[in-house]
Amino acid sequence: MPTMPPPPSEPATPPAGTPQPAVPLASRQRPARPPQHLADLDELERAKWLADLGHRPFRAKQLAHHYFANLTTEPDQMTDLPQTGRADLVEQFLPKLLTLASQRQADGGSTIKYLWHLTGGAAIESVLMGYPDRVTLCISCQAGCGMACPFCATGTLGLVRNLSTAEILEQVRLAAAAARSGQLTGGPARLSNVVFMGMGEPMANYRAVIGGVRAIAAQPPAGFGISARNITVSTCGIVPGMDRLANEGLPVRLAVSLHAPDDDLRDELVPINRRYPVGAVLDAARRYYSATGRRVSVEYALIRDVNDQEWRAAALAAELRRRGTAWVHVNPIGLNPVPQSPWTAPNPKTVDRFAARLAAEGIPTTIRDTRGADIDGACGQLAAEESRDHG
């Protein structure tokens, strides 16, 4: 990992009248990278970065404490740092990475959906959800997504760019601060769960995601101190990534977006299925359980007349049961309809029937609620809407 900040991404402007070389379109459109941030580095690297730039290395721990424990990047609140140079120190090591573009509430104030702009202007979302027994944050790991699942709003955007570890962690810090200051109904609360179910495919940005997971789980001042058991990484089924995660020695929860038990249909719904078909994905999910002892969640977005037939519930149960039943849990959820798509959710009776068939076949099953449907809560909908409006 580099210990020096990357060079500025914008080249210096040449004097007026200087002939301009032709710049290939691809390089002109390359999205800007974020500046390096303290949260991109582990504890040793943080101290070295400060020392390399002429600061006392223990300042790294002080800055990290403000960031991960106090959830702040406000110089005014960092009274243990010398006032002279404090603002510069913060600007250099805790640069601003996310700019709030919009914020919407739903479910009577127990859900807040944020749209953030990254360095370079790309948009991402995170959704904060308060429940009686927990507070869950859904975060993005990429701007856009390259997996092109046709029922998913993010899939329609294509991949814009990967997020850095610090951009992932900034979503957590800002939401944890919002929950702590009482912005959800029910009053001040501690962020307890983080799910990588926003925009992007975690296994396609593995290094930044695993850096983020480690820092979410580490105790302050190394990280936010949210138990790894309460972190969920959701994948469309990239088998090598699933195996890699299984061997990290982290008890994170794995969710697999299956959406169909048969390759013919899954090839359409989750195009990466052509590379990693249903059987290979379920085998990898089963290995994940063996390695970690964590039950794998199988996600199944029910789409009316596409994948919601009772025979498909039976076929899914058979595929899973072939590998046992202790290792898996199915979460059917009604599709959150995406504008300009012909697909919609089945009626609730069909959802119940699908879930009941799985349960009758011995598969642990819980219908997932759809938080924030009235604020375009489904994956990528806010950002897709913005890119339609401005793009």
Q: Which residues bind ligand SAH (CB under 6 A)?
A: 151-152, 197, 201, 234-236, 257, 299, 301, 333, 335-336, 338, 378-379
Alpha-carbon gap, residue 88 to 229, rounded angstroms: 37
Residue 76 tokens read as: 């005014």
Q: Which residue, 215 or 335, has its beta carbon nearer to ligand SAH?
A: 335
The answer to whether 103 touches 112, Cβ cutoff 8 Å, is yes
The residue type at 69: A
Residue 160 tokens read as: 């814009």
Report phi then psi at 118, rounded to 5: -90, 170
Q: Which residue, 50 or 270, has its beta carbon nearer to ligand SAH?
A: 270
H helices of the chain, in order, are 25-28, 43-52, 58-64, 86-93, 165-180, 206-217, 239-246, 263-269, 278-292, 310-321, 348-360, 381-390
Taking the complex as a whole, the smallest distance from the CB of residue 57 to ligand SAH amounts, in Å, to 38
Q: Which residue, 89 or 363, has its beta carbon nearer to ligand SAH?
A: 363
Alpha-carbon gap, residue 133 to 225, rounded angstroms: 18
Taking the complex as a whole, the smallest distance from the CB of residue 122 to ligand SAH amounts, in Å, to 16
Q: Which residues are catalytic?
A: 125, 379
Q: Which residue, 198 or 221, has its beta carbon nearer to ligand SAH?
A: 198
Taking the complex as a whole, the smallest distance from the CB of residue 259 to ligand SAH amounts, in Å, to 6
Taking the complex as a whole, the smallest distance from the CB of residue 359 to ligand SAH amounts, in Å, to 20
The residue type at 155: G
Taking the complex as a whole, the smallest distance from the CB of residue 377 to ligand SAH amounts, in Å, to 9
Q: CA dihedral in degrees (23, 26, 28, 32; nearest 10)?
A: -150
Taking the complex as a whole, the smallest distance from the CB of residue 197 to ligand SAH amounts, in Å, to 4
Q: Which residue, 142 or 164, has its beta carbon nearer to ligand SAH?
A: 142
Q: Is 296 left (phi over 0), alpha (psi -120 to 50) or beta?
A: beta
Q: Which residue, 50 or 236, has its beta carbon nearer to ligand SAH?
A: 236
Distance in Å from the first CA to the final CA of the chain: 34
The answer to whether 265 touches 273, Cβ cutoff 8 Å, is no
Alpha-carbon gap, residue 31 to 29, rounded angstroms: 6
Taking the complex as a whole, the smallest distance from the CB of residue 255 to ligand SAH amounts, in Å, to 6
Alpha-carbon gap, residue 61 to 80, rounded angstroms: 11
Q: Which residue, 64 or 338, has its beta carbon nearer to ligand SAH?
A: 338
Q: Which residue, 260 or 363, has its beta carbon nearer to ligand SAH?
A: 260
Residue 248 tokens read as: 């990290």
Q: Is 292 left (phi over 0), alpha (psi -120 to 50) or beta?
A: alpha
Residue 374 tokens read as: 């009235």
Alpha-carbon gap, residue 294 to 283, rounded angstroms: 15
The answer to whether 111 touches 129, Cβ cutoff 8 Å, is yes
Taking the complex as a whole, the smallest distance from the CB of residue 77 to ligand SAH amounts, in Å, to 34
Residue 79 tokens read as: 């009274």
